[in-house]
Structure 1
Amino acid sequence: MTPVKPALLSANRVHVAFPGLHGAPDARAVDGVDLGIRRGEIVALVGESGCGKTTLARALLGLVAPTGGGVVFDGRPLEYSGRSLKAYRKRVQLVLQDPSGSLNPRHTVYDAVAEGLRIHGHRGDEQAAVAEALSRAGLRPPERFFLRHPHELSGGQRQRVVIAGALVLEPELLVADEPVASLDASVRGEILALLLRLRDELALSALVVTHDLGLAWNIADRVAVMYLGRIVETGPVEQVLTAPRHPYTRALLSVLPEAPGDPVVLTGEPPDPSRVPPGCRFHARCPILAGGEAERAGVAEACRTRDPGILTGDDTVQVACHWAAAR
Structure 2
Amino acid sequence: MTSTTPPLLSVQGLHVAFPGRRGAADARAVDGVDLDIRRGEIVALVGESGCGKTTLARSLLGLVEPTGGRVTFDGSPLARSGRALKAYRRRAQLVLQDPSGSLNPRHTVYDIVAEGLRIHGHPGDERAAVAEALSRAGLRPPERFFLRYPHELSGGQRQRVVIAGALVLEPELLVADEPVASLDASVRGEILALLLRLRTDLGLAALVVTHDLGLAWNIADRVAVMYLGRIVETGPVEQVLTAPRHPYTQALLSVLPEAPGTPVVLTGEPPDPSFIPSGCRFHVRCQVLAGGAAERAGVADACRHEDPAVLSGGDRAQVACHWARARTEEPAAGTGDGATVRPG
TM range (shorter): over 0.9
Q: Equivalents in 2 of 1:115, 1:262: separation in Å? A: 50
The SS at the match of 2:310 is: coil
Counterpart position of 1:276:
276
Counterpart position of 1:39:
39
Counterpart position of 1:194:
194
Counterpart position of 1:90:
90
Q: Equivalents in 2 of 1:146, 1:269: separation in Å? A: 46
Is the 1:50–1:271 Cα contact (8 Å) retained in structure 2? no
Task: String of CA shifts for 1:262-311, please: whole Å, max 9, x gaps.
Answer: 21110033221001000000000000000000000000000000001100
Q: Equivalents in 1 of 2:159, 2:269: separation in Å? A: 35
The answer to whether structure 1 residue 138 and structure 2 residue 138 are counterparts is: yes
Counterpart position of 1:240:
240
Q: Equivalents in 2 of 1:216, 1:116: separation in Å? A: 29
AA aligned opposite 1:266: L
Counterpart position of 2:342:
none
The answer to whether structure 1 residue 13 and structure 2 residue 13 are counterparts is: yes
The answer to whether structure 1 residue 167 and structure 2 residue 172 are counterparts is: no
Is the 1:51–1:271 Cα contact (8 Å) retained in structure 2? no
Q: Equivalents in 1 of 2:183, 2:74: separation in Å? A: 33
Q: Equivalents in 1 of 2:3, 2:19: separation in Å? A: 43
AA aligned opposite 2:29: A
- Return closer, same or farther for 1:222/1:89 CA change in 2, 3 Å cut-off: same
Q: Equivalents in 1 of 2:179, 2:269: separation in Å? A: 28
Counterpart position of 2:218:
218
Q: Equivalents in 1 of 2:151, 2:290: separation in Å? A: 51
The SS at the match of 1:251 is: helix
The sequence identity of aligned pairs, in percent, is 85
Counterpart position of 1:128:
128
Is the 2:228–2:270 Cα contact (8 Å) retained in structure 1? no
The SS at the match of 2:105 is: coil
- Return closer, same or farther for 1:3/1:272 CA change in 2, 3 Å cut-off: closer
Q: Aligned-pair distance for 1:2?
A: 6.5
- Return closer, same or farther for 1:116/1:151 CA change in 2, 3 Å cut-off: same
Q: Equivalents in 1 of 2:290, 2:33: separation in Å? A: 27
Q: Equivalents in 1 of 2:305, 2:212: separation in Å? A: 30
Counterpart position of 1:155:
155
Structure 1, unaligned runs of 5 or more: none
The Cα RMSD (Å) is: 1.0
Task: String of CA shifts for 1:2-51, please: whole Å, max 9, x gaps.
Answer: 66201100111000001101110000000000000000000000000010
AA aligned opposite 2:207: L
The SS at the match of 1:285 is: coil
Counterpart position of 1:204:
204
The answer to whether structure 1 residue 264 and structure 2 residue 274 are counterparts is: no
Q: Equivalents in 1 of 2:39, 2:84: separation in Å? A: 21
Q: Equivalents in 1 of 2:176, 2:194: separation in Å? A: 13
Counterpart position of 1:319:
319
Q: Equivalents in 2 of 1:2, 1:58: separation in Å? A: 26
AA aligned opposite 1:294: A
Is the 1:14–1:70 Cα contact (8 Å) retained in structure 2? yes
Counterpart position of 1:109:
109
Normalising by structure 2, we get a TM-score of: 0.94
- Return closer, same or farther for 1:20/1:291 CA change in 2, 3 Å cut-off: same
The SS at the match of 1:283 is: coil
- Return closer, same or farther for 1:252/1:2 CA change in 2, 3 Å cut-off: closer
AA aligned opposite 1:16: V
AA aligned opposite 2:39: R
Normalising by structure 1, we get a TM-score of: 0.99
Number of aligned residue pairs: give it: 327
- Return closer, same or farther for 1:265/1:16 CA change in 2, 3 Å cut-off: same
The SS at the match of 2:157 is: helix
Q: Equivalents in 2 of 1:49, 1:102: separation in Å? A: 20
Is the 2:3–2:314 Cα contact (8 Å) retained in structure 1? no
Q: Aligned-pair distance for 1:65?
A: 1.1
Q: Aligned-pair distance for 1:94?
A: 0.2
Q: Equivalents in 1 of 2:262, 2:151: separation in Å? A: 42
The SS at the match of 1:208 is: strand
Query: Which runs of at least 4 in structure 1 moved beyond 6 Å after TM superposition?
Result: none
Q: Equivalents in 2 of 1:81, 1:263: separation in Å? A: 48
Task: String of CA shifts for 1:139-164, please: whole Å, max 9, x gaps.
Answer: 00000000000010000000000000
Is the 2:10–2:72 Cα contact (8 Å) retained in structure 1? yes
Q: Equivalents in 2 of 1:142, 1:286: separation in Å? A: 51
Q: Equivalents in 1 of 2:227, 2:188: separation in Å? A: 25
Equivalent runs, 1:67-78 vs 2, <5 Å:
67-78=67-78
